[in-house]
Chain A
């Protein structure tokens, strides 16, 4: 065969085969998808500050550890209400001649997924403290600290955003830690990361590989299995209120010995969990954790009972029915967003 002896024919043939396949698996699909995906109704383009924050996110290689994709498998439910679809990424377009669009989907999950971080953790105070040094709020974290997004000043100027860094993390520095514009922009970007609801009438794609329901076991056992309040606390509350329930001075209030938690009338406690709280000057704003995470009455009850009986707290436990009623009450008083 002459193809073995003619370099022109041989390499042309190889290139053509490779090129044709490339056309079908890369070029055509990418062009088609670029043309045919439009942003969802309700998706808001990034503001200038958020876009600047996205640049900080890119230049620090955050995508190396944090994904931004909710897969359509059951275990990814933790990271969003529905699996991601192509339209979710339609807003990420090429912004400059030097850079790619950057969907930032990522391929490694060394840290948590950030698709919906803006909803899961909307608190600016938390993000700032966490960025200064993640171990202030999550002692087990292995995330890198980002102190260059902050300045240490003797006295905070007007408009400076102060960050409550505990003494132990100041490394001998004296003064007040304030966020730089870069730091604020990055947090603004993180806060903007929210899953957009699909338009009415369009069903969410399904999560596959569901965990086998424990119902069968529950029927056999004859009793409802109790949810693990400690795990739910870890997933939803611990980031701010800490594992020991002591919170963080100047940022997040303690639950240990808290009047709200110990009160037998749990109306306020449920209202705070479901609607958030911003009444204490010395602490940061609490987001509507319960509503954002879509916690059920069973889950809220499990969390509350964990908080009411841990770290020396010794309050009466609540029942699911009580919580159900209080949740309805809280819903009625929820601030209009």
Chain B
């Protein structure tokens, strides 16, 4: 009995996976607790013991599962005894096929002949049971010795493979044993049907034969009549096929009724956003090259310090911001089921934001600078123009929502509208002079740069995803409540984490601790969000490959999870010690701002623009864009993460600074290569965008013909009046 309950417990594989995962993460959670005077690398024994216990527990768990399987299998075979045999044989008979029935019939007419039963030789393999080594010795300090740890790991590796081997062997012998049982059963069955009394009559056999040979003829349903598609279900049937380098994408569903004026506004937002992406990433590409060729030019306007700020500001406040606004202008009226409050204010907002960014980029290059806070380099009069654009937009959105014809406010609009309110508060606090002298400026800086990322870009894009993902999949979101949970928990935790950019600095220690705690709390909205999106995707995976936008959304969701998790991992004091100030941070910011925000924006563009213009992007173009961007991002981030870690370790070891610069050389080269691929993908995007927006239309023969007919009709009607 006990075995059976345990068996049931473990049967649910999901639980097993969760338990294993919990055990695995236990040591990592432990990291957060070492605060002071504990060095990161000379290994602290507790964590290794945790790890060892985990490994041993997993081993024991797998052995238990194996034993339970063994027990259940033996029970199964034991039960299959004579009581059931007869009814089982009856069932076999009703399922006989035509050939078999012929055999029986011929046997009946020729009853002397005996059925021969072919017996296949069996292979026996005695299962070898190897017991994995259990519980290590008690003394703790031994396990802080790297030698012991390595030895234990080395011992475990063969044991692990032995376990896998054992599992496969046991499985094989079960299968063989079962086959052996079946052969015996076959013999008994042959015996059973050789006895005429056990068999049904000839007429019955004939009926079974007829049933088994029944076949549907092609026009069975129409009973031979010619079919007619009176409902018009089939359209444009074609048997042409193309060479498939990329999965064939489904064309966009015909354009819904959207105000042409709004269409134009949204397209202008998205178009200018793509323009800024191209400019911003070209600048970034050049900055990346300058890490390898520092003497590339000697113009002050193009010096690395200035261009770096141009790159970050343009991709933040121009590309991502304008892109998000464009998607917002489409989504907010759509889910409110009401027209946009004011198209005119939308245009003013577009002009404000674009103008501010154009002037902002030039002023930074000219050396006019706010005083060196990251993403806060543009001086306040210019950012004020930018903020006016956002203010007009959010007022516009709220008024649109007020006019909504739905009862509830869809979760997308929660996220989207709230993000505008938050970024305006953030920008206001960042640029008013109060509290900005001395260390106060840096406290605000930490708050500003992280709220901009989390409460503006991320928040808004989550809202976009809550609409576009279900829309593209044509099914509702998995859980509305999870979305609500993510909304409130993200506000609660994200707001406090800014200072984790200044861990170990002169900022108040308690503020740093709050930020670290908040960073761990961020796992709640991230897990809630990811679960929601993945569960929405579940069951529709086939749609991903034949959609323009879903692959981008999928990558964005995966990076949302990994990138956010990485952010949490970086915030702990022990990890911050190695990674802070290194290129690891740059890899992280690209994983999040590119992997999440930019990929989601790409998806949004491909989801919306073809709907608005009715023109598809080139299939090859979308595929090329996706793969160049994705592979480029890997080449960009992975070398920087490796190099950043090595750099941090060198600093911890006290190596001369210049050695760490020399060491980074190859990693910076890889970064430039990855950056180039990403940049190329943006050129492809520009081309795709052009193809989706180009004004010339292919002549639709049908439409044109009716236009001509209509014209003729009109002229005919008009003629008599002359």
Chain A: residues with CB nearer than 8 A to chain B? Answer: 4-5, 7, 10-11, 14-15, 17-19, 21-22, 24-27, 29-31, 33-34, 37, 58-65, 67, 69, 71-76, 78, 83-86, 88-94, 98-110, 112, 133-135, 138, 140-148, 208-212, 231, 234-235, 238
Cβ of B514 < 8 Å from any Cβ of A? yes
Provided the pairs A18-B422, A34-B437 are in contact, do residues A5 and B305 lie with their beta carbons within 8 angstroms?
A: no
Q: Does the CB pair A86–B506 fall under 8 Å?
A: yes
Interface centre among A10, A34, A61 (most CB of B within 10 A): A61
Q: Does the CB pair A85–B506 fall under 8 Å?
A: yes
Q: A34-B438, A107-B585, A135-B294 given. 18 additional CB < 8 A pairs?
A: A4-B408, A5-B407, A11-B418, A17-B492, A18-B491, A24-B496, A30-B441, A30-B443, A59-B367, A61-B372, A63-B305, A71-B504, A73-B504, A78-B657, A90-B439, A92-B438, A102-B371, A147-B298
Partner among A25, A33, A65, A99 whose Cβ is within 8 Å of the Cβ of B440: A33
Q: Does the CB pair A109–B298 fall under 8 Å?
A: no
Docked complex Cα distance between A296 and B125 (Å): 72
Docked complex Cα distance between A37 and B437 (Å): 10
> 8 Å CB contacts to A: which residues of B361-415?
364, 367-374, 376-377, 379-381, 398, 401-402, 407-409, 414
Interface string of B32-43 (1 = CB under 8 A from A): 000011111010
Q: Does the CB pair A99–B300 fall under 8 Å?
A: no
Q: Does the CB pair A105–B37 fall under 8 Å?
A: no
Give the distance to chain A from B525, nearest Cβ to Cβ, in Å: 13
Cβ of B434 < 8 Å from any Cβ of A? yes
Binds A, one of B168-176, B552-560, B647-655, B678-686: B647-655
Docked complex Cα distance between A234 and B407 (Å): 71
Q: Does the CB pair B439–A100 fall under 8 Å?
A: no
Which A residues are CB-close (under 8 A) to B498?
25-26
Give the distance to chain B from A13, nearest Cβ to Cβ, in Å: 9
Q: Which residue of B lies closest to A13 (CB)?
A: B488
Cβ of B444 < 8 Å from any Cβ of A? yes
> 8 Å CB contacts to A: which residues of B342-376?
364, 367-374, 376
Chain B: residues with CB nearer than 8 A to chain A? Answer: 36-40, 42, 290-292, 294-295, 298-300, 303-306, 308-309, 364, 367-374, 376-377, 379-381, 398, 401-402, 407-409, 414, 417-418, 421-422, 425-426, 429, 433-445, 447, 451, 455, 487-488, 491-492, 495-496, 498-499, 501-508, 511, 514-515, 577, 580-583, 585-586, 651-659, 661-662, 668
Which B residues are CB-close (under 8 A) to A76?
504
Give the distance to chain A from B369, nearest Cβ to Cβ, in Å: 5
Docked complex Cα distance between A7 and B417 (Å): 10
Docked complex Cα distance between A71 and B577 (Å): 10
Interface centre among B40, B435, B502 (most CB of A within 10 A): B435
Q: Does the CB pair A209–B654 fall under 8 Å?
A: no
Q: Which residue of A lies closest to B399 (CB)?
A: A7
Partner among B42, B291, B429, B662 whose Cβ is within 8 Å of the Cβ of A22: B429
Docked complex Cα distance between A238 and B582 (Å): 24
Docked complex Cα distance between A249 and B419 (Å): 59
Q: Which residue of B lies closest to A230 (CB)?
A: B656
Q: Does the CB pair B514–A148 fall under 8 Å?
A: no
Which A residues are CB-close (under 8 A) to B426?
22
Which B residues are CB-close (under 8 A) to A11?
398, 417-418, 421
Q: Which residue of A lies closest to B292 (CB)?
A: A142
Partner among A22, A84, A103, A211 whose Cβ is within 8 Å of the Cβ of B652: A211
Q: Does the CB pair A100–B436 fall under 8 Å?
A: yes
Q: Does the CB pair B374–A209 fall under 8 Å?
A: no
Q: Does the CB pair B380–A98 fall under 8 Å?
A: yes
Q: Does the CB pair A144–B447 fall under 8 Å?
A: no
Which B residues are CB-close (under 8 A) to A142?
291-292, 294, 661, 668
Q: Does the CB pair B436–A69 fall under 8 Å?
A: no
Docked complex Cα distance between A64 and B312 (Å): 11
Which A residues are CB-close (under 8 A) to B367?
59-60
Which A residues are CB-close (under 8 A) to B433?
94
Docked complex Cα distance between A88 and B377 (Å): 23
Partner among B36, B305, B445, B515 whose Cβ is within 8 Å of the Cβ of A65: B305
Q: Does the CB pair B374–A107 fall under 8 Å?
A: yes
Q: Does the CB pair A89–B417 fall under 8 Å?
A: no
Q: Does the CB pair B499–A25 fall under 8 Å?
A: yes
